Structure 1
Amino acid sequence: MEEAASARDLARRCAGEYASADAPEFLADVTVIAHELPAAPRRAINRARLDDGEHAILVTGNIVRDDLLGRTPTHWRDHGGEEARLGGFALMLWAALLGDAIGWVAQQDGRVLTDVLPVAGMEEGDVSSSSHKELGWHTEDAFSPFRADYVGLYCLRNPDDTPTTLSFADVAALPGHVRATLAERRFLIRPDDAHDPRLMAGSRGDEAVALLTGPAGAVTLRADRDFTVAVPGDDQAREALEALFAQLDANLYDVPLAQGDVCFVDNRNVVHGRRSFRPRYDGRDRWLRRVNVAVDLRRTRPGRSGGDDRRIG
């Protein structure tokens, strides 16, 4: 409890000094400030980031004052009040121990710190603001070479314990010819519906990519259940894709996030999604704050307009 209070105090101090949790000034300073977080969780996160087999890093026990949180917004354009603002600062502080925050020009009005909550009219969509429909597993922004290394989720509210889902590829269990095909540029991944196509700056997903890359002992996975296909006419690639999808479907497991939990999904090792749920639209619905994290910010530079702009596109 003492560590949680210390982390909250640090977030509150930042909230008093900076305009927002994704203000350029805070993004420039947060890596230094984050080393004022309690030492024990910092050590644990550091060890976890060095383990190339980890699926996710979970930081539990962060303080969220539900009595001060207010209503879950009806749309992501409403950022919420001061308690949600503190949650944003807390998420960015923990995220800075892993890398640098990035965002997308074409997503949520170009915000770096975004929100995940149900939106009326989107219940059956293939986006995080859906609800009735299960959100299919995916590598976050799988279509892009500038996609994040981690996706950070801070749970402000989850009254029905609706789980986030994770899955992984057991590469050794795949037949050799399937592994070889998946490692070749024979697949197309188009941008998901969360990205405004008018702002995608030419990213159409029409360049063939491999779905498995890297060394045998630390393979990077790249796939999206709803937006990945084999190159048309390539039956071998289609069969390999079906084999991978079948394995990922079979390996899917639940990670229910409680209020105050922060989860950093390793976007290189696993795909993630969400189980379906029935929103109330009464101010008490599930609400997460989200940030994408790049371990090497320089890697994303070709996708950004300038060195000071954290947004891809």
Structure 2
Amino acid sequence: MSAQSLPGPDERVCWPTVQTANIDEYAQVIGMLAENIAADSLSDPQDFSRQARLAAALLPAPIRELLLDFLVEGDGGLLLQGLDVGEIGETPAAAVGAPTRHTGMARQSALLLSSIVHLVGYRPECRGELVQTLVPIRRHQRRQMSTGSAVNLESHTEQCHNLRTRPDFIALGCLRGDPTAATYLLSARQLQDLLPVRTVALLRDPVFYTRVDGSFVDGGVPDEVRGPIPVLSGSWEDPVITYDEDLMSTDSTEHAAALAAVKSVWQVHHSEIVLRPGDLFILDNSRAIHGRSSFAPRWDGNDRWLCRLQGLCNLAVSRFARGDRSPIIEIEGC
């Protein structure tokens, strides 16, 4: 496995916002382990998540060590390259009912993500599917959604509105790429380093509000204002970020200027990657905000096609909103 030097516990500054590792020498064994995930993630999400978790324990030690180091010391993103996509059909025209969950890339993504989290789905979003389909959809072109394409997907924490069961990590597995579609990332550590101390202090005040993400409103979550919450929290050395460029606001003029400063830093300093087939991009949803450039789908069956999975480090925090043994978080937990 080739990768940049990984940081030790006292060398956090050495870990880049996007750590890249080529794992093609392990691609065959990862593919074989992923075949142990035989359950259907839609009809039997309990067994799918259980099988993925058990198979993850058999991953080669260097892969598990890399993922664990990212969990503990990472700065936002881990890009794994070299997975085997295998044969796939045309890019689906819709996210619901797509064959994404049956692909080898979906199983490999579930396997690798399960090394650090428990897979979860959210009932209001994509019917609660553990394996979500991210493809451009014509009627969503100008919406601030993962299925949009004609506008930049603005910087955000995934499910900023979800104050109780927000995913800790997100995995984006690329089945088919688009060279003009760039994924953006900015870590909370970077943001703090680039802002005046006074602005950082303002962002740590719990005076910010957010509306509910449109995809969750579409799925039945009330369209309401939630908060107050801080944008930055946790330790100064390893801050937590909760932010949505499109949905977040505040009643304070001074704090609104601090929000505007976040956007200004984002526009200049975000990292940029273009996902290619066989790439798996894992994002730390508490340490970084992300977004995506606009792009122009051709609608010819060869457009960008990703699978997305999400997970919690502590599954118990969502117990109140899940059925017995179910990994699906119901509306009351969103």
Pair 1:13 & 2:31 matched: no
Partners of 1:150 and 1:161 in 2: CA distance: 25
Quick check: 6-15 or 259-268, which moved more?
Answer: 6-15
- Is the CA contact 1:131–1:278 (under 8 Å) kept in the aligned structure 2? yes
Cα gap change, 1:257 to 1:116, in 2 (>3 Å): same
Shift of 1:243: 1.7
- Is the CA contact 2:173–2:280 (under 8 Å) kept in the aligned structure 1? yes
Pair 1:85 & 2:103 matched: yes
Shift of 1:132: 1.3
- Which residue of 218, 223, 245 maps to 2:238? 218
1:264-279 alignment, distance < 5 Å: 264-279=282-297
| Partner AA of 2:62 in structure 1 | A
Gaps of 5+ in 2: 1-23
Partners of 2:330 and 2:229 in 1: CA distance: 19
1:127-166 alignment, distance < 5 Å: 127-145=145-163, 146-160=165-179, 162-166=181-185
Shift of 1:12: 2.3
Partners of 1:305 and 1:191 in 2: CA distance: 23
Give SS of 1:143's match: coil
1:53-72 alignment, distance < 5 Å: 53-65=74-86, 68-72=87-91
Pair 1:35 & 2:53 matched: no
Shift of 1:28: 2.5
- Which residue of 66, 76, 90 maps to 1:44? 66
Cα gap change, 1:27 to 1:249, in 2 (>3 Å): same
Identity %: 25
Alpha-carbon deviations, 1:30-71, whole Å to 9, x = none?
2221122233222211222220x4221122110012xx2010
- Is the CA contact 2:128–2:328 (under 8 Å) kept in the aligned structure 1? no
Shift of 1:295: 1.1
Cα gap change, 1:135 to 1:39, in 2 (>3 Å): same
Structure-1 residue corresponding to 2:46: 24
Cα gap change, 1:203 to 1:159, in 2 (>3 Å): closer
Give SS of 2:146's match: coil
- Is the CA contact 1:168–1:251 (under 8 Å) kept in the aligned structure 2? no
Structure-1 residue corresponding to 2:225: 205
Give SS of 2:311's match: strand
- Which residue of 201, 214, 217 maps to 1:193? 214
- Is the CA contact 1:69–1:81 (under 8 Å) kept in the aligned structure 2? no
Cα gap change, 1:303 to 1:208, in 2 (>3 Å): farther
Partners of 1:294 and 1:240 in 2: CA distance: 29
Task: Give the number of aligned pairs.
Answer: 304
Partners of 1:303 and 1:241 in 2: CA distance: 32
**TM-score for both structures, normalised by structure 2:** 0.85
Q: Runs of 4+ in structure 1 displaced over 3 angstroms?
A: 302-307
- Is the CA contact 1:112–1:311 (under 8 Å) kept in the aligned structure 2? no
- Is the CA contact 1:167–1:252 (under 8 Å) kept in the aligned structure 2? yes
Structure-2 residue corresponding to 1:124: 142
Structure-1 residue corresponding to 2:266: 248
Partners of 2:57 and 2:123 in 1: CA distance: 29
- Is the CA contact 2:194–2:265 (under 8 Å) kept in the aligned structure 1? no
RMSD of the alignment, in Å? 2.0
**TM-score for both structures, normalised by structure 1:** 0.90
Cα gap change, 1:50 to 1:199, in 2 (>3 Å): same
Partners of 2:253 and 2:178 in 1: CA distance: 45
| Partner AA of 2:61 in structure 1 | A
